[in-house]
Amino acid sequence: MRDVAVIGIGMTKFGELWERSYRDLFVEAAKGAMKDSGVDNLDSMYIGCMSGGLFVGQEHIGSLLADYLGVTPIPAIRVESACASGGAAFRTAWIEVASGLSDIVLAGGVEKMTDVDGGLATYALATAADAEYEGFHGATFPGLYAMLAHAHMHKYGTTSEMMAHVAVKNHDNGSLNPNAQFPIKLTVEGVLNSTMVADPLHILDCSPVTDGAAAVILAPLELAKSMGLPIIKVLSVGMATDTLALHSRKEITHLASVATATKRALDLAGMTIGDMDFAEVHDCFTIAEICVLEAMGVYEPGQAGPASMAGETARDGKFPVNPSGGLKSKGHPVGATGIAQIVEIVKQLRGTAENGRQLAKANRAIAQNMGGSGGSSVVTILEKG
């Protein structure tokens, strides 16, 4: 396998983008990535999208987006793994470049979630859960993560205040991100006093419904060097699955797909979690960030909540998490989220993160993107060349 580098990044602003169409969002991000890399031709592209059919009534996305980007007749394929669709698209593009099949491959992600009402958006997202055993009985993702939160609180003594600290930290980071949907600062009291969505999760414990797109360009490392581009090397990508339904798992507070994907990525890179300088993780709910950090081995079970409360995951903490603002503040256009994580890591490794959110130490990082309540997960490790 060849070594692979990320040579270009592009991203739209995330938010309720009423005036923008699905295809226009993708084209903006993709053209931004191509311009950033200096390439004007692609060999192929992969697009992460969870549910174009339900959100905008559009399937056959590969053909549509290749057309509007002006890159037909290249192969263009839609990749779906619920909220991990972007990470899965990145993994597939990485494999194609590493294998030698192609040299210049775009990995993108896009979702337009606000063109439907709240009920239909909730229904569309719920299709990432077990339709017969969870969705049929009315379970939504706030409800599923609320059950996970209650189990974690019962087993480890995690508190609502600990979860609120996750939201406060991520919004502090997101307040510095020009692409964030909600670049506003929060207080612990504000989170705890916000509307209850599914006990114990308040509305400010939940990521928003979002429109947006992100894209990156992958190329062989040697080609990137010959082009004189900043070298951001893809050290490894790991992916794993777990049972779709929470009730089928041995322990619902342990995200097994995250643990397995992290181990695969670290083993392939020949590293440990201690070799990472920071992380972008899938904080679709505040309890998710806590469980993810424990599954990845950053903290022992039950310790991520207290660590977050102590400021260890802040920008100036022991192990910064979500300097982008995470899904919570930056936004969560589900198909684009995994690619947006890579965009942030590349900015940090290049030393170009905006508005003072640049980390003091940013040489190597890990991204974790998750589908549903942990039914799938993709973990990527990148390093500054």
- Residues serving a catalytic function are 83, 332
Residue type, 64: L
Count of other CB atoms within 10 angstroms of residue 174: 28
In terms of Cα–Cα distance, which of 57, 58, 61, 34 is closest to 48?
Answer: 61
Q: How far apart are CA 5 and CA 383, in angstroms?
A: 9
Q: Which residues pair with 52 in a beta bridge?
A: none
For Cα atoms 311, 86, 231, give the angle at the middle one, nearest 5 degrees.
75
Handedness of CA 31, 22, 346, 360 (dihedral sign): positive
Q: Are 296 and 279 in contact (CB under 8 A)?
A: yes
DSSP calls for 132-176: TTTGGGT--HHHHHHHHHHHHHHHH---HHHHHHHHHHHHHHHTT
Q: Give the integer Cα–Cα distance in Å for 186 and 204.
A: 9
241 burial class (0-12, 13-18, 19+ CB within 10 angstroms)? middle
- Cβ atoms 49, 61 nearer than 8 A: yes
Q: Is 106 helix (H, G, I), strand (E, B) or coil?
A: strand
Contact present, 30 and 69 (Cβ < 8 Å): yes
